[in-house]
Structure formats: C-alpha cells, structure tokens
Amino acid sequence: MNTSMRRRAFLAAGAATVGATLLPEPFSVAAAAAGKKGVMLMNRIGPSSSDLYISDSDGTNERKLLASPGFDYNAAVSADGRSVVFTSERTGDGNSCLYRARIDGTGVQPLVVSGAMNDGGVLSPDGTKLAFVSTRGDRKAQIWVLDLRTGALRCLTNGPGVAGDPALPDGHFRPAWSPDGRWIAFSSDRDTAWRGHDDGRGWEHTQELSIYVIRPDGSGFRQVASKPGYCLGSPKWSPDGARIVFYEITTEGTWLAHRPEGIGKVESQIVSVDVATGARVEHTSGPNLKVSPQYVTATEIGYLVKGGADEGLAYTGGTLPAVKRALRSPVWTPDGKSVIYQKVGFTPRPMDTPLYTWDSDWEYRHCDVFPVLSRQGRLAITEKQLGNSSIVTLRPDGTDRRVVFDNATSGLDPVLIAKGLAGAFRPAWSPDGEWIAFGLGGWFQERAEMTAVVARVRSDGSGFEKLTDGTANAGFPSYSADGRQIVYRVWGADAKGLRVLDLATGATRVLTTEPDNLPDWSADGRLILFTRRTSDTNFDVCTIRPDGTGLRVLTSSGSNDGHAVWNHDGRILYNSGMYGFRQEAALYDNTFQPYGQIFSMKADGSDKRLLTDSQWEDSMPLYLTQDVLSR
C-alpha cells in the first residue's frame, strides 16, 4: 500500500471508541515500604528470565547447571574445570553481580556484589585472580582485576595510555586470560565515533570494536586486531597462547544483530590472529550471524549461530555435530567434552514487578510505556507490552481501571500494532483531568510511510476526536498549564518540529522547524522540554519558552540524550547513552538502545545524576510519591 493509500485508509477508519471498558487483568502499584518516599515506575527492555544449562558438546545430556538458579548468564569455566564463574541478578532485577559455583552446580558463592554493573567474570589460570567488567568508578564498562586472596582491586583500562577520549565511546568487554596467565585479551570501542545505524542517520548506536591485550598489572597495553568499519568481539586464546579467536561483523551489522527484524539477515565470520604477528585466518565464510567463538581443542573452534534456521552450536572443523538449539553465550569446558550456555526468556514482566533500586529513598518498579500521572492522581499508560497499544487509565492502587481508547477500533494494521509499531502512544492529561490526548498512527520506522494524528478522548472514554488532519505524522502531545493549548511534534519530508494547537480556535502555530520530538510542557507553563537532533549523529535535551524564545540545549554528551519528561519536583528525567555500551552490541537480543540508562538533572541542565546502572535498556520513569499511592 503506498503512502497516499495508507493516509486515506487511516483517516477513513474513524477510530471512535464506545466508552470505557474494564481490563481483564488488574495492574496496581503497591505502596512503598515504610520510610521510603514512594515508587519510581520505569520500563525495562531486556530478558525477563535467564537460566544456565550444561550439556555434552554434541548437545546430549542437557540439564540445568545450578542447584539454586536465579537469573543467571555469561558463564566462564575455570582452567582446572572444577568451577564456574557467572553473572547473576539474584540480588535484584537489573543488578548484575558475579558468583562462583562448583561445576556440578552446587556451592554458589558471591565474588563481586555491588550496585555497579558487574559482568564477564573469568578466573586466572591459577585461580587466584578474577578479571571482570564493571561500571564502578566512572560508570563506564572497564576491565578490573580482583585478587581473590587479598581482596585488592585494580582497574586496567582507565589509566594514562589506555583510557580513550572521554567524549567518545570508551567501553571494554569480554576479558579472557592467556593460558600462561600473563595477559588479558578484551574487546573495546575506545576512541571510536558515536555513530548511528543506517550509515549514521539512525538514532540507535552501532559499535566498532577492536581486540586488545594488557598485562594483569596494567602494563603492556596494545592493540592486536582491528579492521575499519568492523566490530571484532569476544576474544578467546588458543590452548598454546599463540592465537586469539573472535567474531567479526560490520559496524552497521551490530545494529541488526540485536534487532528481531535483522538477526536472520546479518552475517559475521569467525577469525583468529597470531598474537605476535597479527596474521589473520578466516575460519568461516558465508551466511549466519556467528558469535561467541572458543577453541574447543587445539584445532577445533566452536561458536554460536545466533538466530535463523541454523541457530545453535556449530564447529569450524566438523569434528563435532552442529546442535540446533535456542541458546546464548556458550563456553566449553577445558577438556572440550561439555558446554555451558544460557537460555533466555522474554515473557513480559508483570506490571509493578520490583526492580533493583539504586536510590535508597525510592522503590523501582516495572511499568508499561509512557506512564503519566494526572494532577488529580490518576495514572494513564500505553498498553504496548500486551500487544495492543491502547490507552489505559486507573487509580494507582489498581481500582477503577479502564481502557479509554481501544486500539482495536483504530483501523490500524493489527500486525503492526502487535509489534508495537502502530497504536495510541504517549497519553497526556489535561490539567483538569477531563481529557487525555495521544498520538494515533504509525511509529518508529513506520513513520516513513504512515501518518499519525493527535487525538483526544474524555477521561471516561467518550468523545473521541482527531485534533490534526492526518496529512503528516503528528504525535507525542502535551497540554499547556491552563489546558487551552497542546504542543506536539510533526515529522515528514515537508515539515518537522514542534507545533502548538489552540484548542478553542483550532489554529496551529509553528514553534520549531528542526527535527524535534517528545515535547513536555512544564507544570508552571513557562517551558517546553523536548529532544532535538543536533547533528547527524547526536540528539540532545532542550527547553524553549512557549513563544519560541529562550532555547537552551541542556545536554552535550555526544551520545544521544532524549526521552525527557518533567518530574513532580521540577527536575528533568531523561535517557542517555553517555556512559556507552555495557556489553558487546551484537550479543543483545530484542533491544533498541541497550546502552540507555535513566538520568535526572535540574531544569537548567546542571546536577546530572545516574538513576539506573543496569545492563539493559531502561527508560520512561515516573515518580509516584507516598501521598499519591495512599490516596
């Protein structure tokens, strides 16, 4: 269907609702514990479960690894084959910590437990030291070494001669000890550019990694493998310590590698280099996304085919049979007889699921997208998680729950609705609580071909009306403090920026003409908060007065800052990738911006604070104080 046909079909749909209906499953926000200020709702995009398994290398004899599982992933086997180090979130959803267990799955003990993101732990060959990735300190993913005998910690990658330009990506991932324990190999995107997908035009970052080595005392740092325009990841040593094997994928491919629409189309290869000379050997060719390589023997390399019809374990030499199985992050035991891996699940988290809390004054909980609170204390959300993207309202305690706009009546493509690419997005309350405005149409990549309108409905679900004519993609509305105007964004080849609609006269005026998005009018009516694309590779959080004067750019990280909303206390909550990736991009699944964390700042852009420090994509915060929850 061409663009004009889509527009006519959408406008003819007449997406009027027949009043509000009750939802089948309740969602309530439980009051926070005594002594807390309240609850912060937020949305997390990432797996909701992960369990470690062990099997023979041919896939037989599969069973769960741990006697006491609890959201576990990214295992590593000790050189003597007797123990396993792994990452676990058993201290709280989103809090990555490191543990050790016996190879039979018993005797789980903590190794590194903190509020930072800790991952990728691997024991030195003699078992006395642990190399791992952590965001402790400067909040970036650095390589650390823990002396297990003394407890001494050393960061290897943030000192002079190793640390990259702080204004650019500077993450370090997947450490691996050499067989003699004298070197640690790892991947890093240090000193690469912040770059979007679609040849730099897209919002989401791609990743360019090279392979480096460093001694455990921080000396001897050098690059051993790099290829412009490519990402080289997950290094592992050969048994004799002469070579390092890794996967190699185009930088552009790192975006498709964690998107469901691209995982079966992008390909990568398994490559090794001679550590001394840099001489390359390409061990694979042809299609499939190949990651997580490891020498299973001196001549055989095992790896994971990620996604597609051939998903599972594969081997370069063919001495072992391929194993078709949905799994991630395989590691083979030193004798090559067994393999440990994780199986992840993406069943949506129930609403109000407790999350790990980085702020002791508040409890963090999971919520669907675009939560917003009326001045009268009523919640509204877009119900994207259940696959319908309808607008729902309720009291915070879960009572009087209603669908005020049922997206099934919209006339939009139900396939796109189920994928979250079309629907009723970003509800906005009028100050008197009588109306809810929202965008209705196609979103994300669909906006290139689909239009959207700003619409509104009464709080009881009646009186649906379209406020824009559907000739452009209009959405993400927000009411003025007096309720007389709505600011929204338009996107299209002929018009971009923010528009202000006078609800009494129907007149629309142009506020901005830049690629601006997600406006949010302050409660006092003095400022409009929004996200601006400030260059081909960057987005920033800005404010402007409603009359178009006083533009201020509040962020400058160069790494994409956006999705900003006003908090109840006048601070700004927003999402940023300023601390970079926390994992190799190609290893993620089903994510948009896995590096995104939640921040807050003052209205003038000062006092920026990190509010989450997880390995996953966190966004869309809403604070509910105890007095709101107790109404």
Are residues 323 and 58 in contact, defined by beta-carbon separation less than 8 angstroms?
yes
For residues 586 and 609, membership in a common domain is answered with yes
Are residues 619 and 575 in contact, defined by beta-carbon separation less than 8 angstroms?
yes
Write out the two tokens for 323: 């194993």
* pLDDT given at position 548: 98
**Residues 428, 373: Cα–Cα separation, whole Å:** 9
Domain boundary pick from 326, 345, 364: 345
Is residue 457 domain-resident?
A: yes
> 75 Cβ partners below 8 Å, 6+ apart?
52, 65, 84, 85, 86, 329, 331, 340, 341, 342
**Residues 229, 391: Cα–Cα separation, whole Å:** 43
Rg for the chain, CA atoms, rounded: 25
What residues of the chain score a pLDDT lower than 50? 1-24
Amino acid at 370: F
Domain boundary pick from 345, 368, 398: 345
> 71 Cβ partners below 8 Å, 6+ apart?
49, 50, 88, 89, 90, 93
**Residues 356, 363: Cα–Cα separation, whole Å:** 8
Are residues 585 and 255 in contact, defined by beta-carbon separation less than 8 angstroms?
yes
For residues 373 and 323, membership in a common domain is answered with no
E runs forming strands in 178-288: 184-188, 210-214, 222-225, 230-237, 243-250, 269-274, 280-282
CB atoms within 10 A of CB 316: 19
Is residue 30 domain-resident?
A: no
Is residue 18 domain-resident?
A: no
E runs forming strands in 78-197: 83-88, 97-102, 109-112, 118-123, 129-134, 142-147, 153-155, 172-177, 184-188
Domain boundary pick from 321, 345, 369: 345
For residues 397 and 461, membership in a common domain is answered with yes
Are residues 538 and 558 in contact, defined by beta-carbon separation less than 8 angstroms?
yes
For residues 218 and 365, membership in a common domain is answered with no
For residues 164 and 206, membership in a common domain is answered with yes
Is residue 576 domain-resident?
A: yes
Question: Strand 312-315 relative to strand 323-324: parallel, antiparallel, unpaired?
Answer: antiparallel
For residues 395 and 313, membership in a common domain is answered with no
3-state secondary structure 489-553: EEECCCCCEEEEEECCCCCEEECCCCCEEEEEECCCCCCEEEEEEEECCEEEEEEECCCCCCCEE
For residues 338 and 387, membership in a common domain is answered with no
Is the Cα torsion angle 511, 489, 468, 513 positive or negative in sign? positive
Identify which of 479, 552, 481 has the alpha carbon closest to the alpha carbon of residue 512: 552
**Residues 572, 363: Cα–Cα separation, whole Å:** 19
The CATH number for 524's domain is: 2.120.10.30
Q: What DSSP line would sit under 339-392, residue for residue? A: EEEEEEE-PPPPTT-EE--SSTTEEEEE--EEEEE-TTS-EEEE-TTTT---EE
For residues 529 and 504, membership in a common domain is answered with yes
Question: Strand 338-345 relative to strand 328-332: parallel, antiparallel, unpaired?
Answer: antiparallel
The single residue listed with the structure tokens 């309202």 is: 393
- Displacement of CA 428 from its chain's centroid (Å): 24
Identify which of 27, 16, 39 has the alpha carbon closest to the alpha carbon of residue 361: 39
Q: Which domain holds residue 243?
A: 49-345
For residues 362 and 476, membership in a common domain is answered with yes
Is residue 6 domain-resident?
A: no
Instruction: Find residue 43's DSSP bridge partners.
Output: 619
For residues 124 and 104, membership in a common domain is answered with yes
**Residues 162, 144: Cα–Cα separation, whole Å:** 13
For residues 366 and 239, membership in a common domain is answered with no
Is residue 595 domain-resident?
A: yes
Amino acid at 394: L
CB neighbour class for 574 (10 Å; exposed up to 12, middle 13-18, buried from 19): buried
Q: Where are the alpha helices (DSSP H) in 56-193?
A: none
Is residue 87 domain-resident?
A: yes
For residues 477 and 622, membership in a common domain is answered with yes
The single residue listed with the structure tokens 């960057």 is: 538
Instruction: Return the half-sphere exposure (C-beta side, CA atoms, 13 A cut-off) of residue 460.
Output: 3
What 8-state DSSP symbol labels residue 196? B
> 506 Cβ partners below 8 Å, 6+ apart?
none
* pLDDT given at position 452: 95
The number of folded domains in the chain is: 2
For the stretch 527-532, contacts whose Cβ atoms lie closer than 8 Å and that sit 24 or more positions apart, written own/partner, are 527/603, 528/478, 528/487, 528/498, 529/564, 529/565, 529/566, 529/572, 530/489, 530/498, 530/564, 531/561, 531/562, 531/563, 531/564
Is residue 386 domain-resident?
A: yes
474 to 132, 271, 486, 499, 541: CA distances (angstroms): 46, 47, 12, 9, 20
* pLDDT given at position 26: 58
Burial 526-542 (b: 16+ CB within 10 A, else e): ebbbbbbbbeebbbbbb
